[in-house]
Amino acid sequence: MRTWRVGTFSMGASLLFLGIFLLLSQFFGMNLMQIMISWWPILLIVLGIEILLFLFLSKQEKPFLKYDFLSIFFVGVLGTIGIGFAVLSSTGIFDKVDDVLNREERTIDLPSFEHQINNDIKRVVINTDRNPLTIEGTTSKEISLFGTYRALVGPKEQLVTKAEEYVLIQEKGDTLYIQVKGLPSETVGPFDRYSSLSATILIPNDIKLEVNGNDNSIILKPRSLMSDWTIDQASDVAVQLQNTSDVKITATDIRNIDGNRNDWAITEETEASSQEMYGDRPEIKQAIFKTGQGKHHLQIMNSYQLNVSTVD
């Protein structure tokens, strides 16, 4: 007659249940990690049932439990692994790993932003954080901001869900301050995530504008400029003017001007240096470009490169 050793039935039942769960996961697309996290308590249930059955079916007055230590050890290993998965899951690291493994590079539309300007606002100040920016003039009395961002994201993930997450706007007296924020990023080992934003902002062309470029690229399309604009500390600036514009561009402390330099009245340059032998030109301290009578002023300061073009 065979001796019933506690643990033998538990090991067999545990393997049976684990096999069933794994088989079902193939048909119903269940998450294998979630199975390992949620399956392990069955081990304790099965082992407890086996002990109760042994005590109930034993005909001895004082039954003595006999254990199959190899089976108990195997069940214990499986249980320990399951508990380990559960503990790690509680820290959120599994969700993080799953998020990283399912990320893909996508281009997503930014939530559009609009702000009506009242008649008390005479000046707009823009800080660009670390983002390139396209600024266009408009005849409407509102500021609009739209564009896209590119990032490594999960299938249903969005880094930006509302405009307030990437732009901040405040009014102080007669000045409207606009801060274009940086997008969320991660720099922790395998969880690195990068993102880049490409935005266009529409500014009324009859309001004074000041832009802090923070060493980013700026594209200006002022159209029919009817006020004074100033761009400071941009890495490179591209200006597109209409042929009918009445604008004077003053470039101050510019490293290089693209295009035909004869279109510019360069009034001051730094003295030639040893860098010229490598093809670099001396820094332009001040240069002027004019269309029409130059009634309205566009000032570009402290930038590495400047390009000006005219269109019909």
165-172 long-range CB contacts below 8 Å, 24 or more apart? 165/111, 166/110, 166/111, 166/197, 166/199, 167/113, 169/115, 169/143, 171/121
Contact 305, 236 (CB under 8 A): yes
Task: List Cβ neighbours of 21 (8 Å cut-off, separation of 6 or more).
Answer: 30, 35, 39
Tell me which residue of 22, 70, 21, 15 sits closest to 46, measured CA to CA. 15
Chain position carrying tokens 């490409």: 198
Range of lowest pLDDT (15-24, 181-190, 225-234):
181-190
Contact 288, 265 (CB under 8 A): yes
List of residues 6+ apart from 1 with CB closer than 8 A? none
Q: pTM of the entire structure?
A: 0.66
Q: Which residue has the higher pLDDT, 259 or 197?
A: 197
Residue 93 zone, left/alpha/beta (φ > 0; ψ -120 to 50; rest): alpha
Grouping H, G, I as helix, E, B as strand and the rest as coil, residue 3 is coil
Decide: 222 and 205 in contact? Cβ < 8 Å. Answer: yes
- Give phi and psi for 14, each to the nearest 5: -65, -45
Tokens, residue 30: 């269940």
- The residues facing 213 across adjacent strands are none
Looking at residue 23, what is its pLDDT?
A: 74
Query: Within 10 Å of residue 86's Cβ, how many Cβ atoms?
Result: 15
d(CA 305, CA 217): 10
More confident: 220 or 293: 220
* Distance from C-alpha of 239 to C-alpha of 33, rounded to nearest angstrom: 54
For residue 19 the two structure tokens come to 């096999």
Give the CA diameter of the chain.
114
pLDDT band at residue 124 using 50, 70 and 90 as cut-offs = very high
The answer to whether 174 and 121 are in contact (CB under 8 A) is yes
Under DSSP, the state recorded for 275 is G
Is pLDDT larger for residue 12 or for residue 274? 12
**Domain ranges across the chain:** 8-101, 104-311
Tell me the per-residue pLDDT of 245-280, one tens digit each, with 9 for 90 and over: 889 999 998 888 887 777 888 876 665 554 443 455
Give the residue-averaged pLDDT of 67-80: 69
- Helices (H) and strands (E) counted in the chain, each on its own, are 5, 16
Least confident of 86-90, 196-200, 206-210, 259-263: 86-90
